[in-house]
Amino acid sequence: MTKLKNLSDVELDSATLAAAKNERRALVVVLEHLAEVDIRKSFSPRFESLAAYAVGHLGYDSKSAWRRISALRLMNELPEIAPAIESGTLDLTKIVLAQNYFRNEARAARAPTVAEETISFFATDVAPTKATLTTAAKVEILTCMMTQTSREAERSLVLQSCGPDKLKRPDLVKPLAGQSNEVRLILTDEDLALVGELRGLLAHKLPNASFSEIVSAALNEAVSTIKNRKSGRGENSSVGQKRGAYRQTVEIKKRRAACDPMRVECGSSPDLVEKPEKDGAVPAVGAALPNSTVAPAENVALMKIAKAERTRCPGAALKRNVWNRAGGKCEICGSRFALEYDHRIPFAIGGKTTFGNLRLACRNCNQRESIKIFGPRLSNNVGLCPEVMSNNNHSGTAELLIGK
């Protein structure tokens, strides 16, 4: 500070301008470092996410961390914006506005998810989808924002958005006394209609329920339903039993149409339905192996175990056992975020789908373990299904829980 006092006005202005340039240049460097940390997942298992790493290790507050993570995500998608960030024509505020706009348009363009189709209180009538924004369109929008102030850019995005109400006022959580929180969010008319319908469905259990009680009941049902599906407990539901019975009935009709003398009891398990043998094919499940002293019943169990070990995705019983052993959390770091069934010895290099070789891991720990074997560049393919990852020689270590 003493040196600054001795500077003239012109020298002070020049030094301040240079400091501002250095700050913007340092921001780009920080974003590049955070991107590499995200690729390597080096924050795991100390932190469950990159945001937690930025807050707990780098010392940013939650809002500052989120702004920088939004910027690095956009810079990864559009590397050409790095010079604009360094020059100051595209700041963090504009980047967050643009990211919110892009996400809002992507939500409007996507098809309904499996969860939305499965859980009863989600909307079943979805508006027609629109085309997603192309990379060229995103670059054009960002180029226009570079010549605008933050307020002008926000107004422009609201006018272009297909859901402007969701861009005008972001969601807000404000802590209150005790364990209560005030939440501000945007709901459409359809969402409010669903709340009213849910209030009617719960009228006997929760008479004269408040809005917060309705939301709490909906969240509890959603968490319970999704958790059961992810842990494998929901795979033996009445819906699954009906589908199994339907498949079994179709198989019986096919056999009768082919005048197959083999009789299949209607009460037997679909997994035990015999199929016609071909030359050189494996004997049907339930039949004794040639030149074998193993009883047919024991043969059934052995063949089912061998088939399960050669299958990439674990069955419902194996899922439940692994989930219960882990207590519904990552067995490496203890996180409950984005849990996956991970092969300790990767399936891509011969690991079997067994209780001892499977573990429950969060997405970051699973990717971190994969990086140790396959390297950061091959393993970092977010969004690819396990089969695609395996076919491209990527990690292939986990069966994603989402959508299972």
Structure confidence by residue, pLDDT tens digits, 278-335: 444 444 444 545 555 545 555 555 666 666 667 888 888 899 999 999 998 899 998 8
What is the DSSP code (8-state) at residue 401? -
What average pLDDT does range 359-363 have in this prediction? 90
State how far the Cα of 305 lies from the Cα of 66, in Å rounded to an integer. 46
Q: Which residue has the higher pLDDT, 283 or 349?
A: 349
Distance from CA of residue 53 to its chain's centroid? Answer: 19
216 pLDDT higher than 60: yes
The percent of residues in the chain predicted with pLDDT above 70, rounded, is: 66
Distance CA 324, CA 233 (A): 11
Is residue 369 predicted with pLDDT exceeding 60?
Answer: yes
Whether the CB-CB separation of 250 and 153 falls below 8 Å is answered with no
**Average pLDDT across the chain, whole number:** 75
pLDDT digits (tens, 9 = 90+) for 218-233: 988 888 888 888 887 6
Asked if the model's pLDDT at residue 57 lies above 90, the reply is: yes
Q: Distance (Å, rounded) from C-alpha 133 to C-alpha 148? A: 21
Q: Among 26-30, 135-139, 167-171, 309-313, which stretch is predicted with the lowest mean pLDDT?
A: 167-171
Q: How far is CA 167 from CA 49, 54, 153, 354, in A?
A: 26, 26, 12, 47
Beta-carbon-side half-sphere exposure of residue 335 (alpha carbons within 13 Å)? 20
- Residues 80-133 have pLDDT tens digits of 999 999 888 999 999 988 988 888 888 777 655 544 444 443 343 444 445 678
Smallest Cα–Cα separation from 37: which of 396, 368, 389, 394? 368
For residues 323 and 229, what is the distance between their CA atoms, to the nearest angstrom? 12
Residue 399: name the closest of 342, 356, 359 by CA: 342
pLDDT of residue 130: 54
Tokens encoding 94: 């504009």
DSSP state of 284: P
Q: How many CB atoms lie within 10 A of CB 109?
A: 14
Question: Smallest Cα–Cα separation from 199: which of 187, 183, 211?
Answer: 211
CB 50 within 8 A of CB 380: no
Note the pLDDT of residue 5.
85
Top mean pLDDT of 89-93, 154-158, 283-287, 337-341 is at 89-93
The pLDDT score that the predictor gives to residue 171 is 62
pTM of the model: 0.57
**Where in the chain are the domains?**
15-168, 187-231, 233-269, 316-400
Find the radius of gyration of the CA atoms of the chain: 28
Report residue 55 as tokens. 């807050």
- Cα dist. 54→58, 72, 177 in Å? 5, 13, 28
What pLDDT shows up at residue 321? Answer: 92
* d(C-alpha 175, C-alpha 183), whole Å: 9
The proportion of the chain whose per-residue pLDDT surpasses 90, expressed as a percent, equals 21
Q: What is the pLDDT of residues 189-203, one digit of tens each?
A: 888 888 888 887 887
Is residue 403 very low, low, confident or very high in pLDDT (cuts 50, 70, 90)? very low
Instruction: Specify whether the CB–CB gap between 389 and 381 falls below 8 A.
Output: yes
Which residues are paired to 341 by β-bridges?
360, 399
Report d(CA 168, CA 158) in Å as an integer.
Answer: 7
For residues 365 and 331, give the distance between their C-alpha atoms in angstroms, rounded to a whole number. 9
Return the pLDDT at 207.
80
Greatest mean pLDDT range, 141-150, 164-173, 298-307: 141-150
3-state secondary structure of 3: helix
pLDDT number for residue 249: 61
pLDDT digits (tens, 9 = 90+) for 1-27: 668 888 888 999 999 999 999 999 999
Nearest Cα neighbor of 121 from 18, 202, 47 is 202
